Amino acid sequence: MTISDAKIQFLEYVEIEKGRSPLTSRNYDHYLTTFFEQMNIKNPSDITESVIRQFRIQLNRAPGAKTKGQGGNTMKKTTQNYYMIALRSFLKYMKKINVQTVSPDVIELAKVGARDLDLISKDELDRLLKAPDISKAKSDEAIIKVLRDKALLELFFSTGLRLAELCSLNRDLDLSRDEFSIRGKGDKVRVVFLSPEAKENLRAYLKARKDMEEAMFVNIARNKIAARLTPRSIERIVKEYAIKAGISKKVTPHVLRHSFATDLLSNGADIRSVQMMLGHANIATTQVYTHVTDAQLREVHKKFHSKR
């Protein structure tokens, strides 16, 4: 089996049998193709521990965005790990179908520092949610746009939806209920919950809509056919209201997802429940948010320790 045939078979397995998204498949294709071409791999048996080590050295010396603590414009450790994760998955598949190559166990991921979260304060969040101001809207289109934007921001914070998940919503959402199902990463379905504020603002926005487009969030413009908002458009909307709210930090839909998670944890939610609501496959992904409980732990320590 040539390495090209093996790669095609592996990518089909990833997308069809493992249920990964086409984007994941494309990323794996890029990482593996880079490895095969740079290391002149012709057959799976050409992959050895020595070859993998040489490739890791090349990655570590490759140019990339300047990263704090790495002393230069080199590829970030997290990016290097993406190549290794793709290669390890490929090797596991080769082992599964009994093709002779190196064991996937020889690959260890580079240690990376704790991830810094882009967060906004509670006060900044409150200002952001209040930023869409209908009193300044002068036309019907402007009023609907403000209602849309208010509903969009409230829904992000209420549900913790990913950007792509919010984009995929249709207007037939049952607002008589406090929850709905969403199909997220890996084609997995989870339940998310609507706050009273999110429901109220969604109802007001949908009531004002005059178009027949099935999408929940659409562009609002005079003499234009309504069409589903793109992820880029929603990012611009969030940025626009962050500026209006006087927030100097970069605010994105993912920052609102962070705010959703940290708000739950700081108010006593357990990590497993937050994991389920965010749709994380691995709890280690959710544990990046547990720093928000540090202040609470400090208060517990002061209250209950050294009561001698």
Show me where the domains of the chain are located.
Answer: 3-106, 122-299
Closest CA to 154 of 217, 202, 216, 205: 202
Same fold, 3-106 and 122-299: no
What's the gap between Cα 296 and its chain centre?
Answer: 27
Active site residue 257: yes
Q: Which of 92, 127, 185, 190 is catalytic?
A: 185
- pTM confidence score: 0.68
pLDDT given at position 266: 81
Active site residue 280: yes
Select the highest-mean-pLDDT range: 70-74, 177-181, 219-223: 177-181
Q: Which of 20, 88, 150, 257 is catalytic?
A: 257
pLDDT given at position 291: 65
Mean residue pLDDT of the chain comes to 87
In terms of DSSP H, where are the helices of the chain?
3-12, 22-38, 49-61, 77-96, 122-130, 140-159, 163-167, 196-208, 231-244, 253-266, 271-278, 283-286, 294-304
Q: Which residue has tokens 């589903």?
A: 228
Fold adopted by 122-299:
hpI Integrase; Chain A (1.10.443)
For the ranges 27-31, 189-193, 252-256, 266-270, the lowest mean pLDDT is seen at 266-270
Closest CA to 258 of 280, 230, 282: 280
Does the domain at residues 3-106 carry the CATH identifier 1.10.150? yes
Query: Which H or E run includes 190?
Result: strand 189-193
Active site residue 289: yes
pLDDT band at residue 94 using 50, 70 and 90 as cut-offs: very high
Closest CA to 11 of 3, 2, 26, 191: 26
Mean pLDDT, rounded, for 280-294: 75
Active site residue 228: no
HSE-CB for 308 with a 13 A CA cutoff: 1
Sign of dihedral through CA atoms 212, 218, 220, 226?
Answer: negative
Residue 300 to residue 212: CA distance in whole angstroms: 54
Q: Is the pLDDT of residue 69 over 50?
A: no
pLDDT band at residue 308 using 50, 70 and 90 as cut-offs: very low
Residue 217 has what DSSP assignment?
S
pLDDT given at position 261: 87
Mean pLDDT, rounded, for 220-246: 89
Closest CA to 224 of 125, 145, 155: 145
Q: Which of 150, 162, 199, 258 is catalytic?
A: 162
Residue 107 has what DSSP assignment?
-
Q: Nearest 5°: phi and psi at 200?
A: -60, -45
Reading phi first (left if > 0) and then psi (alpha if -120 to 50, else beta), residue 75 is in: beta
Active site residue 301: no
Q: Is the pLDDT of residue 174 over 70?
A: yes
Q: Which residue has tokens 């598949």?
A: 93
